[in-house]
A and B are shown apart, each in its own frame.
Chain A
Amino acid sequence: MSKNHWTVFFFLLLFVVACKKDSPVVTEIERFLGFEKPVNFPVPVYNFEANPVTKSGFELGRALFYEPRLSRNNTVSCGSCHIQSAAFTQHGHDVSHGIDDRLGTRNSPPIMNLAWNKAFMWGGGVYDLDLQPIVPITTHEEMDENLENVLSKIRLLPKYTRLFKAAFGTEEVSTARFMKALSQFMLMCISSNSKYDKVMRKEANATFTADEQAGYMLFKAKCASCHVEPLFTDGSFRNNGLAKSPINDQGLYTATLKETDRYKFKVPSLRNLQYTAPFMHDGRFLTLAGVLDHYNLEVQQTTNLDLALQAGGKLGIALTETDKTTITAFLATLNDQEFINNKLLSEQ
């Protein structure tokens, strides 16, 4: 469904671009379908009633997402650490690399399927997408700017005067409008066209290979209790038995100060792993093989270790070499090339 819509939109756009030179009037046929729930996805968590996605709101959000003026010295945009070709992560960086070459403490998470997110950041603390961008904008190691300055800089640019008016009816640049536009762009970053999705939706006779199918069965038995389909995360915070890091990042505890939250981090989605290495909240594993080795052999008994990783008194998840091969084959079906190549989501 969704894929078809995007495709139609894309071709319409091509048509528009092709015709533009001769007859600008044709642009009127361009249609924006807004947010559409993929048929194999659950009902979104985001409150669309307070912020319906519109074409002009989305376009404003996209411009802001790629706007370096969001940072103190106008060098870093959201897109700097959330690169589309890396499924909106900062591929190759264990921790994010921000302003003045400063390094953060966490791995840049993907901007993907956020309409279904109940909590944001690896360690929680933010529970509303509309309030999330304040964190990277104000964080010393990321954009090191304050929101008041950002809005002042945006107000000076005629481009934004035009875009805000188109999106919200008047030229006013307010915090709420700024945040809502960014949300509209991020909400449209939907990854739902992997091979897995096509198999599930029975599109174009898509089927798993024998290895993929075997891997899927193993995945369901050994991984799916936390990495719940079809988003491949249950959105919860868990301690997956990582050895304590040198900086002793305690994850969710920092935001809640509850003993039972020490060392818990958000369960990440398993979509698009091909593009998003390295893995874990601090990017400590460079490859998927490293992650599987961790679950097989390296799980540590630290405070609040998840019960699923100590079943039967044994730490971790036992995996044979064959298991690893088939699970890897299945996980590869979660890579979504259309998502990372979708021109609508790119800097224009």
Chain B
Amino acid sequence: MNEEPVDVLIIGAGASGAAIAWSLTDTRMRILCLEQGPHLHDADFPSRNPDYELSRYAEFSCDPNVRQLPQDYPINSAGSKITPVNFNAVGGSTINFLGHWPRMRPSDFKTRSLDGVGTDWPLDYATLAPFYDINDRNMGVSGLGGNPAYPHYVPPLPPIPIGKLGKRLAGGFNKLGWHWWPSDVAILSEDYDGRSKCVNAGTCDLGCAAGAKASVSFSYWPMLQRMGVELKTHCRVAEITVGDDGMASGVLYHDENGQVQQQKAEIVVVACNGVGTPRLLLNSTSKQFPDGLANRSGMVGRNLMFHPLTGVTGVFDEPMEGFKGPMACSILSQEFYETDPTRDFVRGYGLHSGRYVTPMTYALGGYGVDNPVPWGTEHRHLFDNVYPYSAGLTVVTEDLAHESNCVTLDPDLTDSDGIPAPKIHYQVCDNTRKMIAHGEDRAEEALLAAGARQILGKGGDVWWRAGWHQMGTARMGDDPEKSVVNAWGRSHDVKNLFIVDGSIFVTSGAVNPTSTIQALALYIGDNIKKNIANLFD
């Protein structure tokens, strides 16, 4: 069945799809967004139910292989040290992300020039800075201006509380003379734009029923729908079609009844995250593009980067009340972010102080880990003497790009529509392992300086269910032989095809990527508008 052609077709209603839609609304082009998941409303979120926590291990798990909902696609991560996690709905993974909102730093865009590793981006921090600012206003970002780890900027809202736990850890960092700062968060410290401020419920990963956390379903999409952007849910795109002229002509998608539909478009924008995007491109084969769309460089799916994580816990003498407040967003130290030639690794990492997990998550091994705590008398001891007194630091490392870390198509596994599923090949490199070991030692030092009487959790492996940040699999660059899209997100091979999600990252930085993903999407939208007269030249 043929639908009426649209000017702009956006595939994916998550962070980047929503941001570029917003940017393009003033062009008066007809914009349609296809989303494979549903549009959830506040009553759909589990945090209003008495047994809300059970959802974390079922339909609101961050792991699609656990959820197995009709809109999810399976991911074969048997060959990976980290499994990708996501959410498929309007809002995408911002539904269950934790809202931590650091920007990338200037050096992240110049790692080759500065440190001799990776590849320089074809743009820099200063170019993106205005788009970070616009996006912060659209999302409703809270934070404290003047962070010396960045060129000056001021978030639009004041910071959320760092809490008892954050203050305790900040004291430790201060004793050591190390950098720390209250976290920037996409969580409201004040009522804003029709949304209510955060009530410190601590269920960010189960979706924020109040909309205080800026899932784009609560921030961008109400604006977009008022502006006339069309949204179709339960539509899973199987492939991007190509005309005889080599330009993208539209898509074939499965509607909620599983029927194949065709949607034609003048411009196609891919916004499916760092695993979904290469999957779609690799599934879009044709006579002109036998190895997948936009893949003449062979770079589609390659250079997959995550942020390998591990955690160190300190046990204190007083209850730390870590369950009160947003899960991940208290304070962030970037003392060890930049390359230091005296260390045995390049680039660096952040020390993130979340709050702490709830009793159920603690009992089951922690967030991102499947390793239940012991039963019996040891269990009683942990819950009486350890859990209430615990505070942790998460070591979030920069991941260097390696072509061998990649997304391919699984030859056997498919989703419920029969579309080949992605297969992940990912190993943690030696540089990261050294960084993790260094970070664990520094985390221990900080926790002890803050007054911890016992240190737990050192020497663990990277967390398994922690592949939130999926980057690099359709990287941007000036050289069509080594990159998939140009400096403003346009495919080198297909002039009316744009990619706007984390797959276009060239390096990963060591910070949560969503603020940068959205700033890039706004930047790409701005460039589409600037180049509209000669967009396909």
Decide whether A and B are members of one complex.
no
